[in-house]
Structure 1
Amino acid sequence: MRPKLLFFLIALTGSLLFACQAPTQTHQTRFPVFGTVVSLTANETDRQTAQSVFSQIEQRFHALHKDWHAWNQSGQLHRINQAIARGEPIEVPPLFKRFILKTQALSKASDALFDPAIGSLIALWGFHSEHWEGPPPSKAERQAWLKTRPRITDLWFEGLTLHSRNPAVQLDFGGNAKGLALDLAAERFKAAGIDNAVINIGGDLRILGQRDPKTYQAWSIGVQDPADPAQALASITVEGDESLVTSGTYQRAYQWQGQTFSHILNPNTAAPTDYFASVTVAHPDATTADSAATALMVAGPSQWQRIADRMGIKQAFVVAPDGRCFATPAMAERLHRVQCDLQPPNSESNASLNM
């Protein structure tokens, strides 16, 4: 699962930015998991209820990290990948089936630009390791991988039994597993009757309700500037039930002989993508937002709006490497304190990014 620190909660304490005093009956906790720090905030509830939900979510997240980490040999996903490589069917838990089917639909909508079946490509590049040493794979190695071109749509089910038409499929859900975790945590809060909360997984957010429902005060979220991650490039006001997820090439980059490689790979070229510095997506469903943010990064200037439409994304904010910004009309209406040259999505500046 990719580490990300992409949003500032302007209205929260700790290492995040603050705009004003915290409301009463606010409860928070922080814990490490998924290779990052998770922060949970619950407002307008009693401490006992908040702490109970915090504990449930923390336990669930640690279990998810164990079972869904592609390279953890004791995890369920590793066993699934081994079975696929052997050409053997394997029975999977119901949550895995639901998530795979949902991810298949998202991958189809993205024209397979987002495809978690490329675990073998991630391994080929060495991006499955926390400490990349290089060298990058040769063109011949990448071409050999492309001949197998595994896709998540190669998978199919009989009941809970998973089958694969392609033994080269190796699942790695680093591109949208945090979205799943955000959605599952939101379900726990709602089930406990907590209507105002924030789940923050290393900067990926799921927002419930308002920051202070007594004064109808919404949450204010700052989007990191890829060129200076300590600063906010723009802010977005959020209330209700919404997810904000960002994917960026600046989060993890690798150097080899003077060349920089992003950790985000294009399945159609077997090479890293570098069209955009970051893409931020807002959507009610965090799994969809997480998947789409990666897909739009790969889609690039000529395709990102079409792919956003296909994936049902109405709100996206794109930052180019040269500092120019682009936003869908619905997202542009929500942005405040924008610190970049915001271009219309269909402008000549957008087209010039292909040059």
Structure 2
Amino acid sequence: MRRAAAWLAIAACTAGLLAGCSRASIHQQESYVFGTRVEVLTWDASEEKSRTAVGEVLREFDRLHRAYHAWQPSELTALNSAIAAGRQHIPVSPELAAMLTDAKAIAATGDELFDPALGTLIALWGFHTDTFVPARPDPAQLAAAIQAHPQMADLRIADNQVTSRNPAVQLDLGGYGKGYALDRAAAILKARGISNALINIGGNVLALGSKGDQPWRVGIQHPREPRPLATLPLRDGEAIGTSGDYQRFFELDGQRYCHLLDPRTGWPAKGTQAVTLLITPRANAGTLSDAASKPVYLGGERWRDYAKRYGIDHALRVDADGKIQVTRALRDRLQFGEGITPSAVID
């Protein structure tokens, strides 16, 4: 399997997209969490203040990774085991209860196309492992998993307890957790007096403040070429999320099978190479940038309708043929790469 993180090039001196970047003004720390590279940059704060605050952020990322891992022992796997055993009123931490409540609401808004209940299907397709062997699932097992039709609507969450009416529900927060971690990082940095920062978790990016007298500038990765599709300035409180078939996938017999599964069919989605959403400043912008990109990606030709459901005006889609569709609001912010032109600009 090829792993190309949902990369958005960070336009700081380390990415080479802006000149004149002062090393005395920028602080950068990297780590590897959530199965991807994470990077936090701060601007115009002392080395000691930045290092302390970013260190706390990276420790929080590690905590979230361990607490909600989908296949290694965690609170989430313990909950999945209890659901599979048919237990009712399963106690969970207040944090997990809040995350599941939020994820359930996001799923309902998007016709359950964002579906963290699909853990069994994700495992059958081989995406619950760090040592991947490209193979299609056993047809009988796949058919049984599809027929069981697990979805977030099967869950009842109340008083920090979870009950599922469907024992086939197996939770995987991989399409939610990176965005949630962005929001947690922003809260920590603000609490530590960091006003200007850029947080990148494998291509899910959130900006705080600015980079001096310039906005932070990021690049949207081209889904088929090793270069940015476009770049744009990212303003205080904005977040960007991308879902694409180039992020985690394998090829077999000339076919590409990506990790984005369509809950209607149980198969890897087709018809779209990538979607990118820009979330304007609002509560939980990071979470929405991650989770909402799934129904927009899976929505196919209805992608704009799904973006509107989440109050998102800034969106871009690259279809299966490589044609670029972009909303007018986002088009006005973008600088496309050389030779790249959108085929359609829509309201």
| Same fold (TM > 0.5) | yes
Matches within 5 A, 1:162-311: 162-212=162-212, 216-229=213-226, 231-283=227-279, 284=281, 285-301=285-301, 303-311=302-310
Asked if the contact 2:328/2:346 (under 8 Å) is kept, the reply is: no
Letter in 1 for 2:58: E
Q: Distance in 2 between matches of 1:240 and 1:37?
A: 23
TM alignment of 1:87-126, pairs within 5 A: 87-88=86-87, 89-126=89-126
Q: CA deviation at 1:98?
A: 1.1
Q: Which residue of 2 aligns with 1:85?
A: 84
1:154, distance to aligned residue in structure 2 (A) = 1.1
Alpha-carbon deviations, 1:281-326, whole Å to 9, x = none? 111401111111122111112x111111112221111112322101
1:105 aligned counterpart, secondary structure: helix
C-alpha distance in structure 2 between counterparts of 1:150 and 1:156, whole Å: 13
Contact 2:6 2:244 in 1 (8 A): no
Ranges in structure 2 where 5+ consecutive residues have no aligned partner: none
Alpha-carbon distance in 2 for matches of 1:180, 1:242? 14
Cα contact 1:30–1:39 (8 A) shared by 2: yes
Deviation by residue 1:191-230 (Cα, 9 ceiling, x = unmatched):
1121110111122211111111xxx21111111111113x
Q: 1:18 to 1:91 in 2, by over 3 A?
A: same
SS at the partner of 1:342?
A: coil
Deviations 1:150-189 (A, max 9, x none): 1112111231111111111000011111000111000011
Change (3 A) 1:99 1:185: same
How many Å separate the matches in 1 of 2:232 and 2:346?
A: 22
Q: By how many angstroms is 1:5 displaced?
A: 3.7
CA distance in 1 between counterparts of 2:36 and 2:346 reads 36
SS at match of 1:79: helix
Q: 1-side partners of 2:47 and 2:334: how far apart?
A: 34
Is the 2:30–2:38 Cα contact (8 Å) retained in structure 1?
Answer: yes
Residue equivalent to 2:328: 329
Q: Which residue of structure 2 aligns with residue 350 of structure 1?
A: none
Question: How far off its partner does 1:112 sit?
Answer: 0.6
Unaligned runs of 5+ in 1: 348-355
Per the TM alignment, residue 131 of structure 1 is displaced from its structure 2 partner at its CA by 3.5
Distance in 1 of aligned mates of 2:313 and 2:83: 36
Residue aligning to 1:135: 135
Distance 1:12 1:320, change over 3 A: farther
Comparing 160-169 with 335-344, greater Cα deviation is found at 335-344
After TM superposition, the structure 1 stretch with the greater mean CA deviation from structure 2, 127-136 or 64-73, is: 127-136
Secondary structure of 1:304 counterpart: helix
Deviation readout 1:2-24 (Å, 9 max, x if unpaired): 962421112241xx233112244
| Contact residue 196 and residue 211 of structure 2 kept, 8 A | yes
Residues 172-181 or 311-320, more deviating: 311-320
Moved more, 130-139 or 143-152: 130-139
AA aligned to 1:59 is R
Q: Is the CA contact (8 Å cut-off) linking 1:323 and 1:341 kept in structure 2? A: no
Aligned partners of 1:134 and 1:7: how far apart in 2? 26
Whole-angstrom distance in 2 between the partners of 1:161 and 1:140 = 33
Distance (whole Å) between structure 1 residues aligned to residue 224 and residue 142 of structure 2: 30
Kindly provide the CA deviation profile for residues 118-156 of structure 1, in whole angstroms up to 9, marking residues without a partner as x.
Answer: 001111212212333243135554332222111112111
SS in 1 for 2:220: strand
What is the alpha-carbon distance in structure 1 between the residues aligned to residue 332 and residue 140 of structure 2?
46
* Distance (whole Å) between structure 1 residues aligned to residue 334 and residue 324 of structure 2: 11
Residues 96-116 of structure 1: per-residue CA shift (max 9 Å, x gap): 111111111110111111110
For 2:328 and 2:264, the matched residues in 1 are separated by 29
2:153 aligns with 153
SS at match of 1:100: helix
